[in-house]
Amino acid sequence: LGLPQAIARGGGYQLGRCGCQAGEDPQPVVVNLQEVSQEFRPYNVHAMGKWDGYTPLHVATHYGYDDLCRLLLSYRADPNITCTVEREHAPLHTAVSRNLATMCDMVQTLLQNGADPNLPNKDGNTALHTVIAEIRDFYTAKPTAKMNFNEGEVIELLLAAGADPLQLNAFGETPFYLAQGPDGSIQIPFLKSVHAKLLKQQFTVETLARPLFGPSIDVSWRDLDDDDLELLEWCLAEASMQQVNWSHNRLTAKALSPRIQVGVQHITRLDVGYNCLGDEGVEVLVQHLHAVAYLNLQDNSVTKAGMELLAEFATHSPTLRELVLSGNSSPGDSLHSLGRALVQNGNLRWLGLARCNIGESDALLCICQIMGVRELPFGIDFRGNSDVKNTSKMLKHLDSHSIPGLICVDGRVAVSSTLSFMDAPLLRSVRHLVLEGGGVKGIAYVGAIRTLEAHGICVSDMDSIAGTSAGAITATLLAVGYTGQELVDVLENLPLESFLDFDEQLHTNKKFALEDVKKDIYDVMQGLNGGSFTSVLMSSKDALGRLKSVIEYLDMNDGLCKGDVARCWMEEKIKDKVGIDHLTFFDLQQLSEERRAKGKHQDLELIGTNLSTGETEIFSYKTTPFMVVSDAVRIS
């Protein structure tokens, strides 16, 4: 009678031990349970072992006891419960990973009782991932040529129950990808036929467009035979197709039968292996390109992202349309080059999104100086002399056919001859600006603000601005309405040294004299550089004493500088802009509500430290509405 107690406790060891005591045949154990079934009902069939985290159902599948699985499921054991150890898998994962004689029976039992074949474990692996991984060679990580009958039947059971062969795990792998050999062929003998059946019976428009062989490769038709091609024709001719991917394929003129040609007319997205198609196939595609908005001429140097951009731009670019529709072989290379350029160069992406007519010559002008253009606004950190030369040459020899001549939206020039170094449409969606501290280096924010404005990104359109320390100064000036150019005028005359308003006793009282302390520390460091540690330690006694006095002063007075000069300066600049003395966060919010339509004010948040509690505090309209803004800047 130890088994019911073992089940109640959920201990894997006890349940396994009871099963072993009964011998290889689990029937006596089942009979034993049936005899005490009336006492069994109150037990917790979902109890988890303290050490192994297994439920009784996990343990039963681990040891291959199908009869025990049936009994536990009859008492409403959850077939989708996950254990708390290792990869947090369900009983179905345990069953398919053991390769026992009863594996098929257990899998069928679990599926019939509601086990989810697509339930992922902690790594995102489903039961189909797990069983295929089990038949891979341990050393080469390739699917083995041999597979026993049980594993094959289990895969069929899972697929029949709705297991998704396209589901990605946490590593971006699908079950089909795990079953793929080094040459891209399916190594599990019957899996290809299963794939074909699924293609005809279950694949929808969306699943056809999903990657079958991992995140970086689309559908591979390399191994399709005539029967598989028939299924492909059926999909194109009968289904209401909107998206189909053909990649790295063996589609020749033979594959492009009249039935497929009919289907092509309804496709809005088409990936083809350009070098794999015969002349007849290319001709068929060209005839139907008027109905195709997405043309992906596959090449190792072209990424999917580039071709998606290219397809989007082609809808409003006559130049691209001519490249696509021209009949010679060179347009393919042009499309490849332009697609690669679109991926690598943010400037071309911006031009395309701005609905500019981009041509191949523009890509050639732009591709050679990607790094130079991207870093041109800063003028620093060029990768090499060639970048500088290429950028300079391009900017000096611009003509009507070059990129700036094409940057026209509704007849107006949108960008000057200096190209954008950022993805403007992306940055225009930024709603919040945060400025960190950096001491004197904080003055660099002026250049950053002006650069944003130069590229059409208006800080006044953002919802909120936050800052700390030096960033708090710039954030406050921006929040009350200063522009980038006004910041230049203000901060060029910023009296930074006057902000260091030390307490007078630090200068008048000799023991607190900072200059003496600085000199003492310098002498100590020099001594460490050239003398013995003992002699330096003896001679630095007075210096350490004075330094201790300064530290004690800081502990009592919360700072070397009073901060009055900085606060008064900030108060003056705020009043110059809004005309209010001692502006509070509440006042600033009122101004924001009244003048928000003019884009003059945003929500302001400043960060400081509460020296009494040692905690970071946020000063804003929501937290400190009646605090004077200049006081918050001083604290920060």
Ordered DSSP codes for 236-279: HHHS--S-EE-BS----TTTS-HHHHHHHTT-S-EEE-GGGS-H
Lowest mean pLDDT among 66-80, 399-413, 494-508, 524-538: 399-413
φ/ψ region of 86 (left if φ > 0, alpha if ψ in -120 to 50, else beta) reads: left
pLDDT in tens, 235-277: 444 333 333 333 333 333 233 333 333 333 333 333 333 333 3
Lowest mean pLDDT among 4-18, 117-131, 172-186, 615-629: 4-18
CATH hierarchy code of domain 425-501+561-635 = 3.40.1090.10
Is-above-0.75 flag for pTM?
no
Q: Are 45 and 71 in contact (CB under 8 A)?
A: no
DSSP reduced 3-state for 355? coil
In this predicted model, which residue has the larger pLDDT, 206 or 235?
235
Q: What is the rounded CA–CA span in Å between residue 420 and residue 610?
A: 42
Amino acid at 562: K
In this predicted model, which residue has the larger pLDDT, 367 or 625?
625
pLDDT in tens, 437-448: 877 677 788 888
SS3 sequence of 149-211: HHHHHHHHHHHHCCCCCCCCCCCCCCHHHHCECCCCCECCCCHHHHHHHHHHHCCCHHHHHCC
Interacting residues of 616 by C-beta distance below 8 A, sequence separation 6+: 607, 608, 609, 610
Q: According to the model, what pLDDT value does residue 115 have?
A: 92
Q: According to the model, what pLDDT value does residue 443 have?
A: 76
As given in the structure block, the two tokens for residue 200 are 């005809």
Q: Candidates 3.20.20.70, 3.30.70.940, 3.80.10.10, 2.40.110.10; correct CATH number of 208-420? A: 3.80.10.10
pLDDT in tens, 270-327: 333 333 333 444 344 334 333 333 333 333 333 455 555 555 555 555 555 554 444 3
Cross-strand pairs, 417: none
Closest CA to 46 of 59, 63, 37: 59
Q: Candidates 3.30.950.10, 3.50.50.60, 3.30.365.10, 1.25.40.20; correct CATH number of 56-202? A: 1.25.40.20
Q: pLDDT exceeding 90 applies to what percent of the chain? A: 3
In this predicted model, which residue has the larger pLDDT, 62 or 14?
62
Q: How far apart are the first and last CA of the chain?
A: 71
Instruction: Report the mean per-residue pLDDT for the chain.
Output: 60
Lowest mean pLDDT among 59-63, 185-189, 495-499: 185-189
pLDDT in tens, 64-80: 888 888 888 887 888 98
Q: Are 182 and 137 in contact (CB under 8 A)?
A: no
Lowest mean pLDDT among 166-170, 206-210, 330-334: 206-210
| Residue 222, pLDDT above cutoff 90 | no
Domain ranges of the chain: 56-202, 208-420, 425-501+561-635, 510-528+541-554
**Helical H segments across 455-540, by residue range:** 470-479, 484-492, 505-508, 514-530, 533-539
610 sits in which H/E element:
strand 603-610
| Residue 105, pLDDT above cutoff 50 | yes
